[in-house]
Amino acid sequence: MTESATQGLVDTGRFSHLFPTTSKQYAAGIPNSVVDYVIVFRYAKNPPKNTSREAYASQVSQDFESLGSKLASSGLLYQVKQGAEDNTLLILVHCPWSVLKKHLFRSRIHDFLIGVRVEDVDESGRRDSGHAESKTDENELPRHDLTEAERLRLVYDMITLPVNDGGANVSPDTDKFVDSIFALHNDELNKSWIQSWNKKWLIHETDLQLIRDHLGEKVAMYFAFLQNYTLALAVPAVMGVIAHFTLKNTFNIFYGIAMMIWSVVYLELWQRKERNLAVKWGVRNFSRHDKQHPGFTGDTVVRDAVTGEMVPYCAPWRLFMRRVLTLPGVAIAAAGLSVVVGFVFMVEVFLHEYYTGPFHQFLHYAPTIGYVLLIPTMSGFYTKWVKVLNDWENHKTEAGWEYSYTQKIFVANFLVGYLSLFITAYVYIPFGEHLLPYLDVFNIQHNHQKVGTERLKAQLMYFIITGQTVGFFTEMIVPRIKAFILPKVMTYFNKGKSDKKISDSNSTELDAKTLEAKDVMTEAENKFMQKVYDEVAMEEYNIYTDYVEMVIQFGYVSVFSTIWPLTALCCLINNMIEIRGDAIKVCKYTRRPTPRRAESIGPWLGNMQTLAWLSSITSASFAYLYRSTTDIHSPWTPIFTIMAIMANEHVFIVIQAIVRYAIQLVPTWADIVARQQEFKLKKTWLDRTANEEQFVAKDIGSKEEASNNELDMFWMEHQKPESELEAAKATIRSSFKSD
């Protein structure tokens, strides 16, 4: 995939007379930056029912025409290429600097006014002049480089934003045949990035900065989080190893509370880190201004109170009702998923613990198939279904949509990740022995004596070791195999295609111009188009999957590691590989993500806080239930377990309050920088305007001066401080003299 961009001297001599000065530069291949975005325009091979072939063709044609004119009227350049697949056109879009700079200017002014940009002072001093110094108000832009990510973010806005906001209003939401819009990978950079990571243990701030500059803050924030979280795992890993070798009862409440404290401290510290990164990356406060969600539709159209434009409006109670009504929808889907997870679990328990009949060695591995095939498939259905629900909820803002969607995704992953553990802990172990008689009734062979906590440990170890290994395979090795096989298929496919194309063009007599354009395509361009085809064929990068994996893992460590204290160590090792795997994935196996800004990990933080709270429940209940002195079958046990849980919830809240209080006593780097920035800005403004004070507040001044005259009489003989002083001193003297 990367060859086209980095390899080989191409013979451009044939066309050098056409482009006498610039043709040599493509000797090293065409860089990704010649094209800002690729718009995939895809239509059905066969028209939908009740539509004639011609009508559909002219509809597609018209839609394309409107698309083209929208792009052209925004000043964007585009060229159209046939896609690798049939019925697909690729629109390569480029934004000339003359057009981009207006948008950049608007964006920078906007950022300044809402307080996003503070001076970019990173430790290396790489950028030493902030906009405070550079007198923003005198119409000079803040001195910041335009990074690749920012450029792409702005161009994406220009393509997708409504016309009123300065965009071309082209997006999969508004245009029926627009399948997707994506930017091309910077292969050279990706290569050097991944190579450098393979040579070192830790990812540095500069590496994160590189990601931020090329893939945007949102992706960079994910890697920062993953890195930070992995480092933080060292603490429970060490604690876990100690606990593993010293504590007899692994369900120790003190170990549980220690994990709870770690979770709380870690989450608080991460929030500080987040704020620091937001300042460093110049995205602090940006989320204050909600971006409108493109799918939002209103019942009516009203005049916007702010901009005066006509905007869709939906009554708040309707929005609330929609949110309420999706709850049962999510609940049903979650229940369905729970049934599947529960079924797989039951089969697993049965085959592992009870079944000793024929093929039992072989059937032992059947449940893993459930985890690898059945459950992911069901999760896939769930994900699609909740996306429909989430769109129906009609969110006004991007942030609202994302929050709501994240919650729904989290529910599914929570069930898949934890449900069988909860069933084991709270149903199977306490009540499992009641099952034994029934097994006898059905005359099933078994050699089972007692249901103990080993089952719980085995379950957790399965998720930590087998689960994560399988996850790594499906995420990394399978795509690698795909990546190895696919190009060959592609090449074969393309050969057939290009043959066909020629025959097509022969038979249909495409107009001469097109043919000519094709003819002058240099070899470099061919290679470049191959890169484009390859990337069109890739899946989109899904940051939710990456986050949810880590958040669920955080749950294993914080909620369940009292079961098996080595959990954190295993996760730490897993993540050292994971971070590199994710880097390769985002560079090689998925399309380049559209750069977006992010000043935090958003809703995932809330999910992790929920898990930390949940850890107060599990640690207390495990500690009580699985004590050697607890009679697990006593009717009072459930009540005392609940009491223990609730008491520990209060402990959790107190710990959280103390940790928060203690941590906020230490000022953050971000706060200091922000204050520095504001201080400088203020000084600049005051200095600049100091001479013109007489002009200032003229109206207030004249009023005040008028009223000052009134006071003259009262103050006229008190203008000299010396005389006041003398009088006062005399009085003081006198008061000590008399008596």
Taking residue 194's Cβ as centre, other Cβ atoms within 10 Å add up to 15
**Shortest Cβ 221–a second copy spacing (Å):** 24
94 lines the binding site for a second copy (CB under 8 A): yes
- Exposed, middle or buried: residue 405 (CB in 10 Å: 0-12, 13-18, 19+)? buried
Binders of a second copy in range 291-320 (CB under 8 A)? 305-307, 316, 319-320
* Tokens standing for residue 729: 């001193």
Give min distance, CB of 15 to a second copy, in A.
9
Q: Out of 195, 300, 508, 628, point to the residue binding a second copy (CB under 8 A).
A: 508
Name the one residue in this structure whose structure tokens are 């482009």: 19
- How many residues line the site for a second copy (CB under 8 A)? 135
Residue 711 binds a second copy (CB under 8 A): yes
Please choose, from the candidates 51, 78, 81, 82, the residue with its C-alpha nearest in 3D space to the C-alpha of residue 67. Answer: 78
Candidate residues 2, 68, 471, 627; the one interacting with a second copy per rule CB under 8 A: 68
Q: Is 540 in the site for a second copy (CB under 8 A)?
A: no
> Which residues, 6+ apart, have CB-to-CB distance to 468 below 8 Å?
553, 570, 571, 574
Query: Cβ closer to a second copy: 140 or 539?
Result: 140
Site string for a second copy, 633-652 (x = CB under 8 A): ------x--xx--x--x---
CB of 152 to a second copy, least distance (A): 13
Does position 510 interact with a second copy (CB under 8 A)? The reply is yes
**Residue 9 makes contact with a second copy by CB under 8 A:** no
Q: Does residue 325 bind a second copy (CB under 8 A)?
A: no
Q: Which of 10, 60, 118, 429 is in the footprint of a second copy by CB under 8 A?
A: 60
Q: Residues 6, 7, 27, 65: which binds a second copy (CB under 8 A)?
A: 65
Alpha-carbon 447 to chain mean position: 49
SS (HEC) of 384-412: HHHHHHHHHCCCCEHHHHHHHHHHHHHHH
Distance CA 536, CA 486 (A): 13
Stretch that binds a second copy, among 18-26, 262-270, 273-281, 334-342 (CB under 8 A): 18-26
Q: Which residue has the tokens 């061919």?
A: 526
Per-residue binder mask for a second copy (CB under 8 A), 20-39, x = binder: --xx-xx---xx-xxx----
For residue 561, which phi and psi values (nearest 5 degrees)?
-75, -5
Residue 458 is a binding residue for a second copy (CB under 8 A): no
In the block, tokens 């003081």 appear at: 732
Concatenated DSSP letters of 409-429: HHHHHHHHHHHHHHHIIIIIH
Q: Considering the complex, state which of residue 628 and residue 719 has its C-beta at the smaller distance from a second copy.
A: 719
Q: Which is nearer to a second copy, 202 or 646 (CB)?
A: 646
From start to end of 554-707, where are the E strands?
Answer: none
Torsion sign, CA atoms 474, 475, 477, 478: positive
Q: Give the separation between CA 553 and CA 417, rounded to whole angstroms.
A: 9
Least distance to a second copy from the beta carbon of 525, Å? 7
In this chain, which stretch among 183-191, 567-575, 580-588, 685-693 interacts with a second copy, using CB under 8 A?
A: 685-693
How many Cβ atoms from other residues are within 10 Å of residue 424's Cβ? 22
DSSP letter for each residue of 518-569: HHT--HHHHHHHHHHHHHHHSBPP-HHHHHHHHHHHHHHHHHHTTT-TTHHH
Q: Does 719 bind a second copy (CB under 8 A)?
A: yes
Site for a second copy in 122-141 (CB under 8 A): 137, 139-141
Cβ atoms of residues 476 and 584 within 8 Å: yes
Query: Shortest distance, CB of residue 239 to a second copy, whole angstroms?
Result: 23
Question: What is the per-residue binding string for a second copy in 147-186, x denoting contact by CB under 8 A?
Answer: ----------------------------------------
- For residue 94, the minimal CB distance to a second copy (Å) is 6
Among 2, 28, 109, 374, binds a second copy (CB under 8 A): 109
- Stretch near a second copy under the rule CB under 8 A, chosen from 204-212, 347-355, 543-551, 711-719: 711-719
Rounded CA-CA distance 414/419 in Å is 7
49, 54, 248, 297: residue in contact with a second copy (rule CB under 8 A): 54
